[in-house]
């Protein structure tokens, strides 16, 4: 027997309180600007179904004004087991907003805040996309400081991306059997990262900015990584820092490390400048899929790196731009394809 509950307003679960939702329950979210559930305590749902309207706020970059299905606060614990979560993005009148290429505005079925814990065990998430094709941006917007586990074949359908990967969030417990249908898998908007994080067997798309690994270790295993690069012909500043430089997909700072094993890394040079710039014989302007700063460490083991050259046949300059003071290890038949050069040999770098 299905029990249907229509919410008139946000269900607030305060600290110290546990709400349990049992099998056969169907919850319809509230109308207007209200989230479905605002969780500071604990939420446990098993074999339940949910439908929420989401709403991205294009008048503000404050994401706490975005309407989501579940908003999970620091210290909260949420467990969804074999649940179905359906959403519909209600801002359907202008694709310039909900389909913005750099994801400036976002909505989510589940919006995690720093320090929240979430376990999703089986089940499915789907954006129904009924209003002029508008999509809820992501199924789950992650956040650091807590734990995230997605396991036992959870499926994400028709969102713009299944998961949004925020800096310093460890995705090691997001299972590689997660399914992404009609959407990107893991979306990263880049940003400064100081924690050690791991991703195993998931498709990753990096847009807008680059992953700036400033400390700790970035570990990617059996991942398909799709990223953008941009060379800046108005400046000879190659290394990112001041906004007037070339942009990589991943950058490693002094003391930081990255280990990529069995990964496919595809870069897309998006500058689109004339060949007089990107094909400059003296390599005055450069871009790279991965840029090392002095004192950083990089291992590529059994990886394939490729420049896709989709925009006016423009290649990313290098697969890797090396730097002294750390270590660069390339092994396991790692290959480079269609860059101007596979690796840039900086002075003082030992390529032994």
Please spell the DSSP secondary structure of 234-283, one letter per residue. T----SSSSSSS-B-SEEE-TT-EEEEES-EEEEEE-----HHHHT-TT-
Q: Exposed/middle/buried for 315, CB within 10 Å: 0-12, 13-18, 19+?
A: buried
Place of tokens 């049992």: 22
205 and 226 in contact (C-beta within 8 Å)? yes
Residue-level pLDDT at 338: 96
Give every CB contact of residue 282 below 8 A, 6+ residues apart in sequence.
none
Q: Of the candidates 146, 142, 76, 79, which has an alpha carbon nearest to the alpha carbon of residue 115?
A: 146
CB contact at 8 A, 115 and 77:
no
Residue 211 has what pLDDT? 96
pLDDT at 136: 93
Q: Is 62 exposed, middle or buried (0-12, 13-18, 19+ CB in 10 A)?
A: exposed
Structure pTM?
A: 0.94
Where the chain has pLDDT below 50, the residues are none
Confidence (pLDDT) at 162? 98
Q: What is the pLDDT of residue 240?
A: 64
Rg of the Cα trace of the chain? Answer: 22
Element counts in the chain: helices (H) and strands (E): 2, 33
């Amino acid at each position: 027997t299905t029990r249907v509950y229509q919410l008139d307003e946000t269900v607030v679960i305060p600290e110290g309180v546990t709400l349990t939702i049992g099998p056969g329950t169907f919850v319809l979210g509230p109308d207007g600007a209200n989230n479905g559930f605002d969780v500071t305590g604990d939420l446990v749902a098993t074999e339940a179904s949910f439908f929420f309207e989401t709403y991205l706020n294009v008048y503000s970059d404050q994401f706490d004004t975005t309407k989501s299905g579940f908003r999970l606060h620091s210290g909260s614990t949420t467990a969804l087991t074999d649940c179905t979560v359906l959403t519909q993005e209600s801002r359907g009148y202008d694709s310039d907003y909900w389909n913005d290429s750099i994801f400036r505005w976002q909505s989510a079925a589940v919006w995690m805040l720093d320090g929240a814990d979430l376990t999703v065990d089986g089940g499915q998430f789907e954006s129904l996309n009924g209003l002029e094709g508008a999509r809820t941006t992501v199924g789950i917007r992650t956040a650091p400081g807590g734990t995230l586990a997605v396991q036992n074949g959870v499926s994400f359908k028709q969102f713009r991306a299944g998961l949004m990967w925020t800096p310093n969030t460890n995705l090691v417990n997001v299972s590689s059997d997660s399914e992404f249908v009609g959407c990107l898998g893991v979306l990263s908007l880049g940003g400064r990262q100081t924690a050690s994080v791991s991703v195993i067997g998931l498709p990753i798309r990096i847009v807008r900015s680059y992953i700036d690994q400033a400390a700790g270790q970035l570990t990617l295993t059996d991942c398909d990584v799709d990223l953008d690069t941009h060379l800046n012909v108005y400046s000879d500043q190659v290394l990112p820092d001041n906004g007037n430089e070339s942009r990589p997909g991943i950058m490693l700072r002094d003391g930081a490390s990255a280990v990529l094993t069995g990964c496919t890394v595809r870069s897309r040079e998006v500058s689109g400048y004339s060949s007089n710039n990107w094909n400059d014989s003296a390599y005055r302007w450069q871009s790279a899929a991965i840029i090392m700063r002095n004192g950083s460490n990089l291992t590529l083991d059994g990886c394939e790196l490729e420049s896709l050259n989709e925009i006016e046949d423009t290649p990313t300059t290098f697969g890797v731009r090396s730097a002294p003071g750390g270590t660069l290890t390339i092994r396991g038949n790692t290959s480079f394809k269609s860059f101007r050069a596979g690796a840039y040999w900086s002075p003082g770098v030992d390529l032994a």
